[in-house]
Structure 1
Amino acid sequence: MSIRRAAIWSVSAQYTAFAIQFAASVIISRFFLQPAEVGLFSIALAAAMMLAIFQDMGVTRFISGQPQMQPEALGDYLTLTIGIAWSVAAILIFGAPWFAGFYDQPGLVNLLHLIGASYLLIPFATVSSALLVRDMDFRGLFWVNAGSALIGNVTAVILAAQGYSATALAWGVVVTALGKAVTAQAMRPVAPRWKPRRDKIAPLLRFGSASFLISASAAVGQRSQDLIVGRLLGITATGLFSRASALAGQLSTLVTGAINSVFYPAFARKRDAGEPLAEPYLHLLACNTALNWASMAGLAICAEPLVRILYGNNWAGVAPLLFWTAIGEMLFIAMPLQMDIPILLGRIRTLVWINLLETVAAVTILAMASMISLEAAAISRVFYGLVWWAIYAAFLTRLLSLPVRRMALIYAQSAISALAAGLPMILILHSQGAANVGLIDLLAGTAAGGVTWIAMLFACRHPATHEIRLALHSGLTLVSRLRRRGSSV
């Protein structure tokens, strides 16, 4: 499968999964659950994700990125993954009472038991999904991710409507894991080898030991947010904070996550062929910032009316938090594949130390801000984003010999285009006031912003316009083919 064809399937999966998750979150938040209930689930999920660093051990990156694949070792990899994941499940299940006592929230026990049960299922999708990524079979991966997202979120909505409170979200996690395991195994069946061979899993363990340190520090930096806010500011504040973070993060993943997932195996192939990575990385950087910055600028600008329309007045406190988290997301996408590129180039040890440094910064900045207020915690995401960008920009610029002037020009072009994209919405808010802006106004502002964004991309000769031209050419070619088929009939 070509890179662009793979990207189409990957983007389709991201958009479909996002649409399902977004619709479910809106329905559940607006009609069934309060911020405190969502906050309780967010704390339980964050605790599980902190422990989940033990579950993968770099299996996905190892399988999809290794130059020589050993099919006979796949069963060994799966057995190792099962052993680790089931250990995580045991810790979550048996440690639930202590964790609930630490937060003084008895309701966490049942949530952790359910989320822990999902880790009994997760490993059966891990190796199979990694094989799909390696083969760039993103069509198969579409059915794995989108299908499981559908059944999991539908389950959560149904149970929330029946009054299951935060437990509905936990059951959604279990059903999602089940759906992903069944579908992935159907696509690429892998059977565990009950007596794994030491010589087969040794390379994975060596890779995984360094990958584990990276995953551990990344998990602490990313997953500790809800734990810190929950401990210092309470479960209602956690619900508001997690909703803002999730909305900004999901949109960011929707816009650029699919592109990055395709480029990882593509960069691995270029590395194996001895090709330089600087030019394709600059192109990826340009596409990421062009798309992400415009989207996040729009999200920040229309945060107040968007939250009111989607979630209702009970969630009004999300709006000011969403403004700052959206701006923070712009910084976190400014150096894409910051983990994957160093791993592909054999700089994993250096990456470990760099990752630990930025993780310390993440926890320290958020903890200090959370002692002030909830909005200060959201603002801290921008300060942390600046630190994050400075660290990885310096590292990757040296690693790939990136031209600093070219990077600065791309950033400037993307920033100008993002401002152009947000201008129509700014004018609408200024003329009508945020309290009077409705859904039609938001849709009109978004459509007009898309037009001004594309116009500015071409006006400033942004590198991403190359992809727009290719997309238009492909669309016109498809229309022409369909017309010829219609005329022949």
Structure 2
Amino acid sequence: MIRLRRSLFITFFSSNSAMAMQFGVTLVLSRLLTPAEVGIFSITAVFIGISHTFRDFGVTSYLQQEKDLTHQKIRSAIGLLITTSWIIAAFIYFASDYVAAYFGQPGIGAVMRVMSISFTLLPFASLFYALLSREHQAGKQAIVNLLSTIAYAITCIALASLGFSYMALAWANVANIAVSILTYIPLRPNGISLMPSFRGWRNPIKFGGGSIIGSLFEDIYISIPDLVLGKLNGPHSAGLYSRANGLVGIFLQIAGPTVTYNALPYIARNYHALAPLGAMLAKSTSYLTGLAWPAYILIAVFAEEIIGLLYGKSWIEAAPLVVFICSASAARIGYILCQPALTAIGKPYLFAISTSIGIIARLILIYMMGAKDILTLALALCIADLLTTPVAALLMARYLGYSIRMSAAAHIPSVKVSVFCFMIAFMLKILLPSEWPEILVLPLIGISMGSTWLIGILYFKHPLVDEIPSLLKRIFPQRLALRISQFIKTGKANA
């Protein structure tokens, strides 16, 4: 448990340092690139994301959850990764012109050809990532994230400034992966051979066959907005939706790497040790919703102010979309561990049930509502997500011992805190003068909402309160941390 907490702590701060740099890049690019240029890359990213599913073939997850991981199994895994990745790289390269012609955007083809280079490099990065995460080697992973993100930022901003347009994003991704591999080499676990083996594929293929279905459906599920908007409305609308979705996704960019890096191997170890998973998932749900829901409320209520300050007035059309995306994300966040948990117990294919129903619901709602404009599409997707979220809850109840009653109980503390936060946010929205500049309003809102959230978790005794002592010990000397913790819990400090 101590090792896991340390890994969580390191992953949180390293991933957020990387996220802060990437966010800074986004702010700069918002002034250098138009929504249409961003939209071209977003549409291309859909096909790259789906291709990643076939490239990885579930091997990364297999390496993290395999109980008895031998050197031969590792060699077999790298052999399978190289084979699938290079085949997909060739497919992306030769299919680029056909995809570009379908959307009527030659730039899509150019981005795909550059991104195919990444697929020739990814097998080695994936192998090292899986082995380090399996052992919770977050410190080494932090070094890789830092250096690769710096390479991404420098490449992206430099090329965009020189007029490379959306191609700057493509080449920045190649630079990111190349630097990752160079950094991984001296940090890789001892005794790991990079010599691939082309035998012994049975176990990773058996596992990957189930994993690939769930991952593929998840990629399609996520890709629907970009595919529909890119075809019906063009790259401008796709770029606006991408920016709105990126703004809402800030929370997952902050907390997501911490959760996903540690969740699968940790749950797998508890499952192999026959430990019950329900209580662990309930605690995680309370933590995630307790942090995410107030953040979504803040973003939804003040979307126009945030977008205006961060991205500029040319992106203000994205503000109305944020409310719908926040609502759908809030419903799904409590069950974000469904996929890694099912993968950890060796049943990755089960998650395909949830995502396939979600895909069908999204397509039906888009068709029924005639969602040809961006706002109607966002509403249709929101309704579909709200209607299909219970599927993940039922899967977790059936296979993970996380009952509906446990799930409801885990959500209730966060509901109380979120209602309190919404009331304060709504009051601030009404009371703050509209003529005040965003650069003055947003810091005031941030301080007010941060204080509101802290008061809420303390007053309603949210489970997050239990983590305050651990956090304080990492910030303050031990004796001072104990006094502060005692004061927070009882209102009195020990002498």
- TM-score, structure 1 as length reference: 0.92
Matches within 5 A, 1:42-53: 42-53=42-53
Residue 202 of structure 2 corresponds to which residue in structure 1?
A: 202
Distance 1:402 1:108, change over 3 A: closer
1:134 aligns to 2:141 (yes or no): no
Give the deviation of 1:112 after TM superposition: 1.1
Q: CA RMSD in A?
A: 2.1
Does the aligned pair in 1 maintain the 2:147–2:179 contact within 8 Å? yes
- C-alpha distance in structure 1 between counterparts of 2:470 and 2:18, whole Å: 25
Give the deviation of 1:62 after TM superposition: 0.6
Counterpart residue type for residue 203 of structure 2: P
- C-alpha distance in structure 2 between counterparts of 1:401 and 1:174, whole Å: 42
Residue 387 of structure 1 corresponds to which residue in structure 2?
A: 387
1:150 aligns to 2:150 (yes or no): yes
Give the deviation of 1:366 after TM superposition: 4.6
Q: Could you give the per-residue CA deviations for residues 408-452 of structure 1, whole angstroms, max 9, x where no partner exists?
A: 233232122123334444333212355634223211211221111
Residue 7 of structure 2 corresponds to which residue in structure 1?
A: 6
SS in 2 for 1:68: coil
Residue 180 of structure 1 corresponds to which residue in structure 2?
A: 180
1:165 aligns to 2:138 (yes or no): no
Q: Which moved more, 1:288-297 or 1:459-468?
A: 459-468
Counterpart residue type for residue 301 of structure 2: I
Does the aligned pair in 2 maintain the 1:228–1:367 contact within 8 Å? no
Give the deviation of 1:323 after TM superposition: 2.3
SS in 2 for 1:120: helix
Does the aligned pair in 1 maintain the 2:111–2:167 contact within 8 Å? yes
Matches within 5 A, 1:199-238: 200-238=200-238
Give the deviation of 1:478 after TM superposition: 4.9
Give the deviation of 1:164 after TM superposition: 1.0
- C-alpha distance in structure 1 between counterparts of 2:437 and 2:228, whole Å: 34
Give the deviation of 1:52 after TM superposition: 1.6
Q: Which moved more, 1:179-188 or 1:92-101?
A: 179-188
- C-alpha distance in structure 1 between counterparts of 2:366 and 2:242, whole Å: 14
1:15 aligns to 2:48 (yes or no): no
1:251 aligns to 2:251 (yes or no): yes
Does the aligned pair in 2 maintain the 1:123–1:181 contact within 8 Å? no
Residue 195 of structure 2 corresponds to which residue in structure 1?
A: 193
Q: Which moved more, 1:166-175 or 1:321-330?
A: 321-330
Matches within 5 A, 1:88-487: 88-188=88-188, 190-194=192-196, 196-198=197-199, 200-366=200-366, 371-434=371-434, 436-478=436-478
Residue 484 of structure 1 corresponds to which residue in structure 2?
A: none
Distance 1:258 1:365, change over 3 A: farther
- C-alpha distance in structure 2 between counterparts of 1:174 and 1:434, whole Å: 43
Does the aligned pair in 2 maintain the 1:428–1:441 contact within 8 Å? no
SS in 2 for 1:107: helix
SS in 2 for 1:401: coil
Does the aligned pair in 2 maintain the 1:285–1:335 contact within 8 Å? yes
Distance 1:451 1:250, change over 3 A: closer
SS in 2 for 1:84: helix
- C-alpha distance in structure 2 between counterparts of 1:395 and 1:249, whole Å: 24
- TM-score, structure 2 as length reference: 0.91
Does the aligned pair in 2 maintain the 1:47–1:227 contact within 8 Å? no
- C-alpha distance in structure 1 between counterparts of 2:443 and 2:212, whole Å: 43
Give the deviation of 1:465 after TM superposition: 1.4
Distance 1:76 1:463, change over 3 A: same
Q: Which moved more, 1:18-27 or 1:340-349?
A: 340-349
Give the deviation of 1:381 after TM superposition: 3.3
Does the aligned pair in 1 maintain the 2:207–2:346 contact within 8 Å? no
Q: Could you give the per-residue CA deviations for residues 346-392 of structure 1, whole angstroms, max 9, x where no partner exists?
A: 43443333432223223444565573320122223321321332110
Give the deviation of 1:78 after TM superposition: 1.2
SS in 2 for 1:291: helix
- C-alpha distance in structure 2 between counterparts of 1:84 and 1:413, whole Å: 45
Q: Which moved more, 1:142-151 or 1:120-129?
A: 142-151
Give the deviation of 1:192 after TM superposition: 3.8
Q: Could you give the per-residue CA deviations for residues 307-347 of structure 1, whole angstroms, max 9, x where no partner exists?
A: 01111111111111122212221112111311122222343
Does the aligned pair in 1 maintain the 2:271–2:344 contact within 8 Å? yes
- C-alpha distance in structure 2 between counterparts of 1:459 and 1:405, whole Å: 24
- C-alpha distance in structure 2 between counterparts of 1:79 and 1:160, whole Å: 36
Does the aligned pair in 2 maintain the 1:425–1:442 contact within 8 Å? no
Distance 1:367 1:102, change over 3 A: farther
- C-alpha distance in structure 2 between counterparts of 1:82 and 1:141, whole Å: 22
Gaps of 5+ in 2: 482-495
Does the aligned pair in 2 maintain the 1:324–1:379 contact within 8 Å? yes
Does the aligned pair in 2 maintain the 1:149–1:176 contact within 8 Å? yes
Aligned residues: 478
- C-alpha distance in structure 1 between counterparts of 2:440 and 2:82, whole Å: 49
Residue 74 of structure 1 corresponds to which residue in structure 2?
A: 74
Distance 1:370 1:32, change over 3 A: farther
Give the deviation of 1:149 after TM superposition: 1.8
